[in-house]
């Protein structure tokens, strides 16, 4: 399974149907997240993904797999007496020799593309700081995540789209600060909950729409209708209002 197939599988789980290819939702999935930046290696010209973006304008880069070549190049470039005459000279000389590394992929990792700071992970695309995870795209700051898209600050989470600050969560979409919960859409501040939509600050609840607890069959019927509306909006517009937009108001700047 590749990352696009994983995206389609995740959509079936969370939305009931596929809604198209991953690339069609890049803008939506990247919203409210720190995107990886693309630089180019000063040694080879190859693309270099970096997570940190506030480099000085003269910064030079290499891909992490070019370190051996960089070491060989720098081994013979020792500072001379003129370059160590004062602090300003030393800083200037060192600045010409210092390169930043991106594409940092370590441990047992495979199929990592346009991503930085990943370890022991598989099938990761346009993401950073991803550890012990698989099938991840447009995300950052994650450990033990599987089938996660457009999310950050993730721990032990499976099947998620646009979630933030999660721990031990499964099958959730558009959710913020949730723990030990599953099957939730558009929720925030929930813990120990399942089958909730548009619910906030709830504990150990299930079958909620807003703060109204419904019978299981009634909840399932209404959930199906709401998911259909979300799905069709995504298909037609390639985006929907996010949970951050809702919490933060019109400018989406809330906490």
Would the pTM count as exceeding 0.75?
A: yes
pLDDT of 254: 41
Supply the pLDDT for residue 56: 79
Residue 8: both structure tokens together: 């389609």
Report the alpha-carbon distance of residue 44 to residue 131 in Å, rounded: 27
Determine what percent of the chain is predicted with pLDDT higher than 70: 91
154-195 tens-digit pLDDT:
999 999 999 999 999 999 999 999 999 999 999 999 999 999
Give the pLDDT of residue 99: 83
Q: What percent of the chain has pLDDT over 90?
A: 76
Our CA angle for 39, 36, 154, nearest 5°, is 155
Closest among 3, 4, 51, 7 to 161, alpha carbons compared: 7
Domain ranges of the chain: 32-150, 151-255
Taking CB atoms within 8 Å and a gap of at least 24, the contacts of 179-182 are none
Reported as a single tens digit per residue, the pLDDT across 212-254 is 999 999 999 999 999 999 999 999 999 999 999 999 865 544 4
pLDDT exceeds cutoff 80 at 53: no
């Amino acid at each position: 399974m590749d990352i696009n197939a994983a995206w389609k599988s995740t959509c079936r789980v969370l939305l009931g149907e596929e809604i198209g290819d991953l690339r069609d939702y890049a803008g939506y999935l990247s919203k409210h997240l720190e995107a990886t930046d693309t630089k180019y290696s000063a040694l080879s010209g190859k693309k270099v993904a970096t997570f940190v973006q506030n480099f000085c304008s003269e910064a030079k880069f290499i891909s992490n797999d070019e370190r051996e070549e960089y070491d060989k190049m720098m081994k013979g470039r020792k500072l001379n007496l003129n370059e160590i005459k004062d602090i300003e000279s030393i800083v200037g000389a060192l600045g010409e020799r210092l390169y930043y590394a991106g594409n940092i992929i370590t441990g047992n990792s495979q199929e990592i593309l346009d991503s930085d700071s990943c370890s022991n992970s598989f099938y990761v695309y346009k993401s950073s700081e991803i550890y012990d995870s698989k099938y991840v795209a447009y995300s950052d700051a994650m450990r033990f995540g599987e089938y996660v898209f457009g999310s950050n600050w993730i721990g032990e989470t499976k099947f998620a789209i646009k979630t933030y600050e999660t721990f031990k969560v499964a099958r959730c979409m558009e959710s913020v600060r949730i723990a030990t919960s599953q099957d939730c859409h558009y929720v925030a501040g929930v813990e120990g909950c399942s089958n909730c939509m548009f619910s906030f600050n709830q504990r150990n609840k299930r079958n909620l729409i807003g703060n109204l607890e419904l019978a299981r069959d009634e909840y399932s019927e209404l959930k199906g209708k709401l998911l259909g509306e979300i799905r069709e909006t995504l298909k037609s517009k390639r985006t929907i209002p996010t949970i951050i937009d809702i919490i933060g108001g019109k400018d989406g700047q809330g906490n």
